[in-house]
Amino acid sequence: MKKGVFFISVLVLYVSMSPAQISYWPLDTDASDAISVYDGVAEPSGVSFVNDAVRGPVMFLDGDGGFVTLPPSLLDGIEDVTITCWFYWLGGGVWQRVYSFGNPMPDVRTLYLCPQDGLNPNQLHITLGGQPPGGVFTWYDYTPVAIQTDTWYFTAYILKGDSLQFYLNDELVVNTGGVLVDPEDLTPDLGNYLGKSHWEDPTFFGMIDDVRFYAEALSPAEVAALYGSATAVKSEKNSVHNFRLNPNYPNPFNPVTYISYETAGSGAVSLKIYDMLGQEVEPLVDETQAAGAYTVVWNGRHCSSGIYLVRLETKTYSETRKMILQK
């Protein structure tokens, strides 16, 4: 451990509660859950992890049998839920699933997202189906917008009480009530899936990245913040005129957070994590970089709860921000 060379001021911090994230699958090198115990199991063939020019390391599914199985117990005891993810569809057969949760016939209960509806080509398709206590089974199908291949999309699927909201990028494209489906009722007999249907449909052909589950309905502001911070993840901008270290998101976090920064010229860049004693915890960046905007991920799973410092240094600029790891 190395001691930092900068002076640490003592400040009074206001700590706000972050959304209750259940699970987070970065899908950078495997299907592990970065937050809890809900690790996915990738099929031995058809699933690979590649470096995308826009989003960096992501999961690639070949459309010929590749998918990931998630645990059946994922939604046990959950009343409200938000599911967010990024997907990049390369085309192919209809009714492919970005994700599918629940059960097929005869005991149907289901929630899924398709990049292309089988009845309305090129239309995004989302479904929610279930049977409320004492009621009858009901399908809720929506085809709100047309999407394109070869494009990254951010999605947020939100269930709260009897309401359903669905965001595509930063736009609310479905907003309805009366759906009467409890997320807990979607617990399947066998498994939940990324890239696969519970029926005999084609598997997903394309890339999936950063799948997140929250045990609550995110607010519009929280969705916008998540989308806004993630659009810079693993990407560069060509028109940066200043050096800047942005606030990490989320903050507080457990245990993963995104740290974004901007450099105004080519040169050596150092980005490191320190504890409150000024000791170096982890170097994140130590290399020469071109001018641009960058985002890196810090996983504090091996660190204890507390306040940490992230410091950006170049030849002509330095800045430090505080982060709160809350386990």
**pLDDT tens-place string over residues 141-199:** 999 999 998 899 999 999 998 899 999 998 999 999 988 777 777 878 788 999 999 99
Position 264 pLDDT exceeds 60? yes
Position 35 pLDDT exceeds 90? no
What is the b/e burial string over 293-319, where b = at least 16 CB atoms within 10 angstroms of the residue's CB? Answer: bbbbbbebeebeeeebbbbbbbeebee
Q: Residues 249-276: what's their mean pLDDT?
A: 87
Q: Residues 75-96: what's their mean pLDDT?
A: 92
pLDDT of residue 271: 95
Position 67 pLDDT exceeds 80? yes
**Taken in order 184, 186, 188, 192, is the CA torsion positive or negative?**
negative
- Pick the closest to residue 126 from 87, 91, 75, 71 (CA basis): 87
In total, the chain counts a number of residues equal to 327
- Pick the closest to residue 83 from 132, 21, 27 (CA basis): 21
Instruction: Decide if 228 contacts 101 (C-beta within 8 A).
Output: no
Average predicted confidence (pLDDT) for the chain = 84
Residues of the chain above pLDDT 70, percent = 88
pLDDT tier, 47 (very low <50, low <70, confident <90, very high otherwise): very high
* CA 56/CA 83 separation, integer angstroms: 21
Over the stretch 270-308, which tens digit does the pLDDT of each residue have? 999 999 989 999 999 999 988 877 878 788 989 999 999
pLDDT tier, 244 (very low <50, low <70, confident <90, very high otherwise): confident
pLDDT tier, 12 (very low <50, low <70, confident <90, very high otherwise): very low
pLDDT of residue 36: 83
* CA 33/CA 256 separation, integer angstroms: 11
* CA 315/CA 295 separation, integer angstroms: 20
Pairwise pLDDT comparison (226 vs 133), residue with the higher score: 226
Question: Which domains, and CATH codes, for the chain?
Answer: 21-217 (2.60.120.200), 244-325 (2.60.40.1930)
pLDDT of residue 94: 93
Assign 27 to helix, strand or coil: coil
Phi, psi of 113 (to 5 degrees): -130, 125
